[in-house]
Amino acid sequence: MHDILYHTYHIEKYDHLEFPGVVPRTFIGAFVISILSSPAVFVMRLLDVPKFYSLVTVRLLLSCVTLLSLRLLRVQVKKKFGHQAEVFFVLLTAIQFHLLFYSSRPLPNIFALALVNLAYSLWFKGSNLCTLQALIVAGVVFRCDIILLLGPIGLTLLLSRSVSLLEAVKYCVSTALICIGVTVLIDSIMWRRILWPEFEVLWFNSVLNRSSEWGTHSIHWYFTSALPRSMLVAYPLCMVGVLLDRRIVPYMLPVFLFVVLYSKLPHKELRFIIGSIPMFNVSASLAASRLYNNRKKAGWNLLYILMLGAFLVSLGYSAVTFMASYNNYPGGYALKALHEADSSVKEKMVHIDAFTAMSGVSRFCENEYPWRYSKEEEISIEEFQERNFTYLLNEHHSISGYKCLFTVDGFSRVKLQPRIPPLSLVKEPKVFAHGNMRDPDILSLNWPGCP
């Protein structure tokens, strides 16, 4: 998004050519958000507003797209299950930290999430062929793993005779071919080679099975860790909803199978199955609505009180998680502090290591000349003193040939304490800023130093 907005048609300056990542990803989502945000970014550039606010703009716009897709789903929940279910759907979604946290992150999963939410709303509406088309666009363009959701939903529609096999094949194949043509055309230009990004992702993850190189979890991790942490009170409620309201069963079963199928992949992350959460929240809202309606009946009143308590606990957990996340971007804060400390016009080269880059550093945070940046990987600590970097931002406390100038703390853990509030966040030094000792201009500045 940064490169589209600031480098426009000068593709040779784009970051992905130097740092392509493990697998290529499509530019289509980035183009959509960049085009929509370009008027605001253009005005900010005229007014010489810092680039960081362009980052805020594109993130807000992406979150609006995600929330709009959730709104479409909310409207259909109201029409199909009633106003009370709609209210609880909104409440349950609002107190879940992870879903809203991810909603503005520029990841292929989030672009796909918007289309999955659209597919759910079309499914509730009865537009079954359009449901399949939305999932195909999400799978072909943004996340090939959506095929694991498309399969169970498509099979459900066929078995229930909601669509005919001939119609499904005709619409799905034509949609897939159009999407393949569009993504190959655009991404081949941007990546400078003939390319269908999601096919390469599918080959890398499924055929070569190399995703496990980035860590593995047990087969039950989604059900015993990821979903409970992300859904909170909605997790047990969604199970109850299936028992209390049979109308949700045909919708829940395919989504449940999607998570089961994905559990076979050793490498697991919440974002891979985040598309299942909105549907699970619908089921949870039906259970919450039933408990609310029966709150004055014997036996039900205790369950209703327990549900209210669980709502409060979930809200408190999300508040703590929010604060932890807020303090989890030391790399971004370190780069900002470095820019503020050195205002000289002398050319400066900053090396940013992988940890710093993953903890808040963005190209939107980079300044123009005289600042230059390097994210070169696999440089040993001993090799840094032979390189002519002006500053280093990394996770090492000391490096030969460089002086530690300051540190930036980041979230470490939550600590219980015998007072109000009972929880406190423990922070510790995460990113260290180093200056080249061969540069006297750096040493002459007033740095806070490192503990």
Q: Is 165 exposed, middle or buried (0-12, 13-18, 19+ CB in 10 A)?
A: exposed
Query: What's the whole-model pTM score?
Result: 0.92
Enumerate residues 6+ apart whose C-beta is below 8 A from 178.
none
Task: Report helix, strand or coil for 311.
Answer: helix
Q: How would DSSP label each residue in 320-379?
A: HHHHHHHT--HHHHHHHHHHHH---SS-EEEEE-HHHHHTT--GGG---TTEEEE-----
**pLDDT (0 to 100) of residue 338:** 93
Given a contact cutoff of 8 angstroms between Cβ atoms, the answer to whether 121 and 72 are in contact is: yes
Reading the chain (451 residues) residue by residue, the pLDDT tens digits are: 999 999 999 999 998 988 888 889 999 999 999 999 999 999 999 998 999 999 999 999 999 999 999 999 999 999 999 999 999 999 999 999 999 999 999 999 999 999 999 999 999 999 999 999 999 999 999 999 999 999 999 999 999 999 999 999 999 999 999 999 999 999 999 999 999 999 999 888 877 777 777 778 899 999 999 999 999 999 999 999 999 999 999 999 999 999 999 998 888 999 999 999 999 999 999 999 999 999 888 889 999 999 999 999 999 999 999 999 988 999 999 999 999 998 888 899 999 999 999 999 999 999 988 999 998 888 888 889 888 899 999 999 999 999 999 999 999 888 888 877 788 888 999 999 999 998 888 888 889 988 8
What is d(CA 204, CA 290) in angstroms, rounded to the nearest whole number?
Answer: 45
What is d(CA 9, CA 77) in angstroms, rounded to the nearest whole number?
Answer: 43
Q: How far is CA 316 from the centre of its chain?
A: 22
| Omega within 30 of 0 (cis) for the link into 250 | no
Task: State whether the Cα torsion 308-310-313-318 is positive or negative.
Answer: negative
What is d(CA 250, CA 239) in angstroms, rounded to the nearest whole number?
Answer: 14
**224 DSSP 8-state letter:** I
Which residues face 404 on adjacent strands?
A: 434
Q: How would DSSP label each residue in 125-156?
A: HT-HHHHHHHHHHIIIII-GGGHHHHHHHHHH
Retrieve residue 157's tokens: 């529609």
H-helix or E-strand containing 420? none
**pLDDT (0 to 100) of residue 22:** 83
